[in-house]
Amino acid sequence: MSEHEADVHGHCDTRFAAVRTAFGENFRARGELGAAVTVTVDGETVVDLWGGWADAARTRPWERDTLVNVWSTSKGPVVLCAHILADRGLLDFDAPVAAYWPEFAAAGKEKILVRHLLSHRSGLCGLREPHSLADLYDWELTTRRLAAMEPWWEPGTRSGYHAMTYGFLVGEVVRRVSGLLPGAFLERETGPLGIDFTIGLPEKEAGRAAELVHPPTASSSEQAAIFSQLTPAALAALANPLVGATEANSPAWRAAEIPAANGHGTARAVAALYGIFAGRGAHAGHRVLSAEAAELAREGQGGCRDLVLGAGLAHDTEIGLGLWLSGPNGSYGPNPRAFGHDGFGGSCGLADPEAGVSLGYVMNRMGPHIADDPRKTALIDALYSAL
């Protein structure tokens, strides 16, 4: 097998042969190292493929049950936790965050609503004070600093991507309401369904984990030019602290609770979790959410040029109550009301209730993109060409 080829394993219904072709092309033409993709239609798995290598040295083949850190694709499961609580009448998205987390009212934040956290509109995209990697691993310290800080902009008026803080903000509300951190809550709710996804990575599963590989690295001068274009809020969101593949491969990262960024799972698990939304709240015959609650996840909160990602995007975006709408740019296929989430470097989860489709794509060689990686786009285009 040459460096640009990979044995592809698994199954793919004949109707979706284009997805298998695109998956193979990702290895041949788009620099894939190891990856997996799963597609469900009306709850049935029609594509379940994997291939390549789980490590940079190409000594470990990617297996059916290989796990990998999916970065911000983790946010979809965190959103699911919040919607489960709301569906049970335990959480009101129109209530002030401080109703559940009293300390959060500091620094003029007493009117910030739970929906503002879910839709990246709280103005708390990143901490104002320096926050080290060790600090990030400390749940109590991170949430305490978020509760004390002043927003970067007027909450509720614009979205600004909360890259790392999202999981602590929504997650602390989940903890205040349920008594459980998001990882434990997700395990309680979806573990019995056989969904192979965790926040962080239990030490006993380390042998199944793929090694993340850095995206192409910009030179020091190129990095300086990029950072010089960012606003203070964007710098806080994306570089306080700055993390990448090296950090995500460490035992400390895997042991921490970072719900916005350190979910670990298979493509099958990602497709299942986003498939709960695609299935209007149902998974494999189990009712996880009411149909109304599943629909609420894509209730648009207003389109705008994102205050954090705006410089790197050529278009406005719109976030629902937790997930990004495909919109006119088609990030999640041609249905503008399809929705999902991308992970730094390439991974994604997609839900399209109208088509009854979910997709999970995971990989270990990170690309330079925060969203809309060409490998993901090729798979989604192939999927919709077959529908």
Per-residue pLDDT of the chain in tens (387 residues, 90 and over written 9) = 444 567 999 999 999 999 999 999 999 999 999 999 999 999 999 999 999 999 999 999 999 999 999 999 999 999 999 999 999 999 999 999 999 999 999 999 999 999 999 999 999 999 999 999 999 999 999 999 999 999 999 999 999 999 999 999 999 999 999 999 999 999 999 999 999 999 999 999 999 999 999 987 767 777 777 777 889 999 999 999 999 999 999 999 999 999 999 999 999 999 999 999 999 999 999 999 999 999 999 999 999 999 999 866 667 999 999 999 999 999 999 999 999 999 999 999 999 999 999 999 999 999 988 889 999 999 999 999 999
72 in catalytic set:
yes
pLDDT value for 6: 77
Catalytic residue chosen out of the listed positions 2, 72, 178, 331: 72
Name 281's Cβ contacts closer than 8 Å, sequence gap at least 6: 287, 288, 289, 290, 291, 293, 294
Name 25's Cβ contacts closer than 8 Å, sequence gap at least 6: 378
pLDDT value for 1: 45
Residue type, 130: P
Beta carbons within 10 angstroms of residue 344's beta carbon = 26
Q: How far is CA 265 from CA 145, 178, 208, 361, in A?
A: 29, 23, 10, 10
pLDDT value for 178: 98
Q: How far is CA 118 from CA 80, 114, 222, 231, 357, in A?
A: 11, 7, 33, 22, 23
Which DSSP symbol is given to 386?
H
Alpha carbon 358 to its chain centroid, in Å, reads: 14
pLDDT value for 314: 67
Strands 357-363 and 348-352, by their bridges, are: antiparallel
pLDDT value for 167: 98
Domains of the chain: 8-74+184-386 (3.40.710.10), 79-181 (no CATH)
pLDDT value for 311: 64
